[in-house]
Structure 1
Amino acid sequence: MISILLNILITVSQVIGGLISGSLSLISDALHNFSDVVSLIISYVARRLSKRKASNNRTFGYKRAEIMAAFVNAATLILVAIYLVKEAIERFVEPVPIKSGIVIWMAVLGIAANGFSVLLLKESSKGNMNMKSAYIHLLTDMLASVAVLIGGLVMKYFEVYWIDSVLTFAIAIYLIFVGWDLLKNATKILMLFTPDEIDIKELVREVHKIEGVKKLHHIHVWHLNEDELHLEAHLDCDENITLLEFDTLLHKIEAVLDDKFGINHINIQPEYKKEDIKDFIVQD
């Protein structure tokens, strides 16, 4: 909430400063700050939703809210960046005089406020994609303000006004770079893709080493959120064992999957001489 309020203050100040000074890089920084406000609000709401308990009609609760927030935040980063590229090219072709003094002071304000917000969110961003997306918004905006400050100083002392467009373009390219990586990771989770760190063939080899296992097949591995890694599969047993014996076998499988692959939610369907497809991956 502190970061949200600070970024609202920065956005309003930089819009006014950009309009008065004529600085595109300052207005671009303000636009990025506005996207920060939106992203922080989305992250805050998602964080609150993710803590809600599961119910009959929401059996997973809102555990994916933070992943969806990260996806939206990453997408907005890229959209803002594309708009800035367009504006930067147009301004580079037709540069205009800029009141550099206002640019410098607004950039200092942005560095101070965003720097404080970055420190506030740094710890929360570790291991949480939603908070990381908000953190990246703020971090890139602080770096953008540094670039704007440098540009303001160059314009003030050397009257090189095209530097404003060049800095805006550089900020936009950086936003695309960090936004794309975050968008890609969030998409993989939302699409239930197998995590990059999981080798299905290696996983099968490890499970097949356990006595009593004949074949693991119909395998699905996916992230529900960043804390929960799920596996569901069918398991052919060597013998027609009892449920109690299967429970013992299941505990061994769970231990291997958790210790070696970090899979902490496992759902296995036991089978014995069932006639079905035995491929590791089956399109259901």
Structure 2
Amino acid sequence: MKRLGKSDLWVSPVSFGCMSLGENVTVYTDLLRKAADAGINYFDTADLYNKGLNELYVGEALKPIRKDIIIATKVGNQWRPDGSGWDWNPSKAYILKHVDQSLKRLKTDYIDLYQLHGGTIDDPIDEIIEAFDRIKEQGKIRWYGISSIRPNVILEYIERSDIVSVMTQYSLFDHRPEEAMLDLLRAHDVGVICRGAVAQGLLIGKEADSYLQYTDGEVARAAKAVAKVAVELERTPLAVALAYVWGHPAVATVALGVRTTAQLDEAIDTLRDVEPLPAGRRAFLRQSVRSFHYEAHR
């Protein structure tokens, strides 16, 4: 377990990303409870996912063990009345209203970590912070953070708010956070919740395809490097991909999207070996991809 930034939340190195739980009650309940029984204690969802149904599923499945687990959800994306899509709405009024709806769906009196689900530099940041501070004072949430890949937005919240976490995309392929952001977050005691660590499966066996600025050939070369290190260390490619991001001390947990028992079993197996990669192997992996930097939102 690792403490999530300056909070009192101690999170498992692998966490359950509840994005696509499906409609089968028995299946998703079994998956969530099996994860908790295996030592995964952090469950991350959002009011956006499946129009709020994912929150409902998580709340129903985990209610019997609520005191033993950490529930995180997100706010800021508003579904259109006709269901055709969603719009960004980070207003203070929206946050204050929708935290109550999330609490109801999650069947809990409090949310452990409430996150702004995105963000732009043009948002009413002071009002957003006021909203999060108010609902924290009211006891509706314990801590708050943001989910963002934009350095300029993250910096504003580091300097102006009491965030304890940033959920951001980070992997061998998308190593942009290494440029400066991870060290900055570490220096301010803000924990990183990593998403996208396996790059949509491309690092762990999925057929090579283009990804971000990489060609399919470059993707294949990096995946081959991950497989080579896995053989050398007698680990799975998943364990190696996760160990790469665990290698930075700012990273508290890696959120994996889990939809099947097989995926969960493999995630659970990585809990037995969460050691960072030896420096030489980590450098070998890093050299298998081109340097990649943020070009916008700086």
TM interval, short-chain normalised: under 0.3
Q: TM-score, normalised by structure 2?
A: 0.22
Q: TM-score, normalised by structure 1?
A: 0.23
Q: Which has more strand, going by share of residues?
A: 2
Q: Which has more helix, going by share of residues?
A: 1
**Greater Rg over alpha carbons, structure:** 1
